[in-house]
Structure 1
């Protein structure tokens, strides 16, 4: 029917607008973090786009359920405000039929979220981790720009040129401040003709090895300082903390989680499935909450609806942590939470039916 296509189009259009705004906010926050890491020299700027692309499925799987939830609330709320829903009800469109129509875009969203949570997200995060790991192990200076003074961690670095495919620095200048307990900070300046990186797999450390140069150490306020000439001098570089953000289970494929019966694996698996299960539950909740009084406006029930969604998501996250820590049996898992919110949605749906409320008869 034309009217049902109209309803689906309204839901999808509103959902796309909401999803676009939410993705812009979340991706902007993540981009700022990566940009800060690039500015600190932890990752080269050329990797920013690739890292964001691999993170996109993890954003989509979280944003789409909320966007669909708000899309149903706002789209149907506008229809109630314009009395279009009243006309549809008068023409015989029941709440049950409305629910079945709303589940069609819900099924599309569920398929997209399932693809992301069960396959694309772990694959993308795994690729991100591999990129960052390879970058840490590479003996290049792709984060440096020749001819510029740059802040790399707590050091200021300058090089006139980079040769040998980005592996050798020429005319290197390094300035840093070394803090000593109970003493004034010491200013250290190092100059060398050349520099290159060396990875020590035994200690998992990375060194910048300088050749043919001088090192000066001066304490402000002191009349004397130290001068050291060297043929070879190694400077240990701090490891990036980027890989500490994710657990190993987040990088494993869904099939690997199913084969691994540990608590953390079961928690991660149930979380991925829950992102899909919550979509029809949210639709069941959103449908009755979208019914608003024209005098109250379309946003009258938006706040309680968002509170319901946030409590739903927060309880799922708490259950995931409890399962991973062994405090909640995996066979119980997150399913009681889905059941509770399904019953809430069912109660709201039945309460919103024409015969669902007690009618008050005039005396």
Structure 2
């Protein structure tokens, strides 16, 4: 690596570490605030919260690393332009290609890391999060239930009990509400024994009470009395979008569902887009001498917004079948590459007549 390239890499590398570290801290703090609220409510333990935050940070790295590199390249080169160092480099006979070579030294390995994070680490981290949340939910039925409060889960099931005994898994003077399809069911019991707390196969044993089946339409309401009733509650189903996020690349590649193809293309394009974003930051960092290195932030922000929302829009359009799978999510990468080629042509005066 030549002197100029080493100098630019050193200036950019320090900024990358600082910006990415700051972004990780902000993201981890936001995630901690969200999950600590659930810990305070008794839904999650502190250890589970710490593990989930760790996995969340791993997932976010596929976005934080490209953003950190993109901003660092723009700000570092903007500082060099502001101090007239880039002008001196070009005056010494160096070509603009030296800037691109220097950025490639950083962008290429970082792009490979982002690709590995997106393809392998991201789905694994989602699997771990869902496993932790599932284990916490399995403990929720008794250990996390609060007496004299409406305990509601994501599926709309509500449990109200005058007293809760975690050691015996017994609820005293309890009311259970469930809803499915065109009817709702209400169960009133003197005591309830939780026989299976698993989210997949929840079951309870009710002693001495009344059950009500309420039809949402019509007059088919029913009331019945029981001495003992073994009740299997509706399992908590995992959202299909959640399963897709934790699916392996092989499973997504075998699927013909547009949403699965969109998820696969999104993962595959992360590494390429990281490199393209870093290269696009080079011409976007060009400013006048003594203008200030942060003058590049506005154009960099506008370009990043277009890339970010363009990628999300393409993924959504591919998932619902509006945009064809080819080019699909890769449309943003193709647009970035086309823009980069035009800017490179301008820098090397291949299209000088169009930029006079």
Alignment TM-score > 0.5, same fold: yes
What's the CA shift for 1:71?
0.6
Higher relative contact order structure (alpha carbons within 8 Å, sequence separation ≥ 6): 2
How many equivalent pairs are there?
325
1:97 aligns to 2:98 (yes or no): yes
Mapping for residues 68-217 of structure 1, pairs under 5 Å: 68-138=69-139, 168=168, 198-199=196-197, 206=202
The C-alpha deviation readout for 1:38-84, integer Å capped at 9, x for no partner, is: 22332222201111222222100011111111010111111222222
What's the CA shift for 1:305?
1.5
Q: Is the 8 A contact 2:16 2:69 kept in 1?
A: yes
The C-alpha deviation readout for 1:155-180, integer Å capped at 9, x for no partner, is: 999999965xxxx479x89999x9xx
- In structure 2, the CA distance between the partners of 1:305 and 1:320, relative to structure 1 (3 Å rule), is same
What's the CA shift for 1:3?
3.4
1:326 aligns to 2:321 (yes or no): yes
CA distance in 1 between counterparts of 2:18 and 2:162 reads 46
> Can you give the 5+ residue segments of structure 1 that lack an aligned partner in the other structure?
179-189, 212-230
* Superposition RMSD in Å: 4.1
- In structure 2, the CA distance between the partners of 1:45 and 1:142, relative to structure 1 (3 Å rule), is farther
Indicate the SS of the match to 2:197. strand
The C-alpha deviation readout for 1:285-320, integer Å capped at 9, x for no partner, is: 110111211232112231122111111121111111
CA distance in 2 between counterparts of 1:42 and 1:240 reads 16
1:263 aligns to 2:258 (yes or no): yes
TM-score by length of 1: 0.73
**Which stretch of the first structure deviates more once superposed, 334-343 or 45-54?**
334-343
Quote the residue 2:24 is aligned against.
23
1:294 aligns to 2:289 (yes or no): yes
Quote the residue 1:345 is aligned against.
340
- In structure 2, the CA distance between the partners of 1:232 and 1:20, relative to structure 1 (3 Å rule), is farther
Indicate the SS of the match to 1:73. helix
1:316 aligns to 2:314 (yes or no): no
- In structure 2, the CA distance between the partners of 1:200 and 1:89, relative to structure 1 (3 Å rule), is closer
What's the CA shift for 1:271?
0.4
- In structure 2, the CA distance between the partners of 1:158 and 1:297, relative to structure 1 (3 Å rule), is farther
Mapping for residues 278-289 of structure 1, pairs under 5 Å: 278-289=273-284
What's the CA shift for 1:336?
2.9
The C-alpha deviation readout for 1:242-285, integer Å capped at 9, x for no partner, is: x5594321110112111222211110010011211212221221
CA distance in 2 between counterparts of 1:121 and 1:336 reads 22
Quote the residue 1:335 is aligned against.
330
Q: Is the 8 A contact 2:75 2:296 kept in 1?
A: no
The C-alpha deviation readout for 1:213-257, integer Å capped at 9, x for no partner, is: xxxxxxxxxxxxxxxxxx99999999989x559432111011211
- In structure 2, the CA distance between the partners of 1:290 and 1:197, relative to structure 1 (3 Å rule), is farther
> Can you give the 5+ residue segments of structure 2 that lack an aligned partner in the other structure?
153-157, 178-188, 208-226
What's the CA shift for 1:21?
1.9
Correspondent of 1:275 among 270, 277, 290:
270
CA distance in 2 between counterparts of 1:55 and 1:82 reads 39
Quote the residue 1:227 is aligned against.
none
CA distance in 1 between counterparts of 2:92 and 2:109 reads 27
CA distance in 1 between counterparts of 2:140 and 2:308 reads 43
CA distance in 1 between counterparts of 2:240 and 2:82 reads 45
CA distance in 1 between counterparts of 2:267 and 2:73 reads 23
- In structure 2, the CA distance between the partners of 1:333 and 1:263, relative to structure 1 (3 Å rule), is same
The C-alpha deviation readout for 1:78-112, integer Å capped at 9, x for no partner, is: 12222222222223331112101211110121111
CA distance in 1 between counterparts of 2:121 and 2:344 reads 34
Q: Is the 8 A contact 2:12 2:73 kept in 1?
A: yes
What's the CA shift for 1:205?
7.0
CA distance in 2 between counterparts of 1:33 and 1:84 reads 45
TM-score by length of 2: 0.74
